[in-house]
Amino acid sequence: MTELNELDDLYQEIILDHYRNPRNQQVVEAPDMQAHALNPFCGDEVDLQARLEDGRICEVCFKGRGCSISQASASIMTELLKGKTPEEALELYSAFRRLMFGEDISEEELDGMGELGALAGVRKFPVRIKCALLGWNSLDDAIGEYAKANE
């Protein structure tokens, strides 16, 4: 993919590592939250499942296919979600969206993003932003459904 070649070497490495060895592939038994997201633009798909314990995400997995950016972003996301409340997860999503769209984020938010920072260069390629946000769209849906079901 040409876009990927234009990113810094270190960032490319992080993205390709997650793409080739996606984290958190084990099925979550009895998930509390799940959602499927599709990016018709390049055929990327992400299925996300998570289980909560004491209001925090304790187990999370995803299955997906598609381009390296969509799959790496989903893989990094699953690593960041463990231990977070749904509210904290949505705050992280908000910060990541702002990073992708070149809007303001605080130093603290950037720190909390860890390897997601590797995807910052993707914002130079607007059509790829959808790929980077795909897993997060599934998270947003999963949390929305969960909140509705538990009102």
Give the one residue of 70, 73, 75, 137 binding Zn ion; rule: CB under 5 A. 70
Strand-pairing partners, residue 57, are 52
φ/ψ of 130, rounded to 5, equals -60, -40
- Which DSSP symbol is given to 123? G
Identify residues 78-117 at the interface with Zn ion (CB under 5 A): none
- Which DSSP symbol is given to 28? P
Q: Does 138 bind Zn ion (CB under 5 A)?
A: no
Give the one residue of 3, 12, 38, 42 binding Zn ion; rule: CB under 5 A. 42
Q: Does 131 bind Zn ion (CB under 5 A)?
A: yes
Closer by beta carbon to Zn ion, 33 or else 37: 37
Give the one residue of 67, 76, 77, 118 binding Zn ion; rule: CB under 5 A. 67
The alpha-helical segments, DSSP class H, found in the chain are 2-5, 9-20, 68-81, 86-100, 107-113, 126-149
Q: Does 46 bind Zn ion (CB under 5 A)?
A: no
Using DSSP's 3-state secondary structure scheme, residue 43 falls into coil
Give the one residue of 32, 44, 47, 115 binding Zn ion; rule: CB under 5 A. 44
* Residues of this chain that bind Zn ion (CB under 5 A): 42, 44, 67, 70, 131
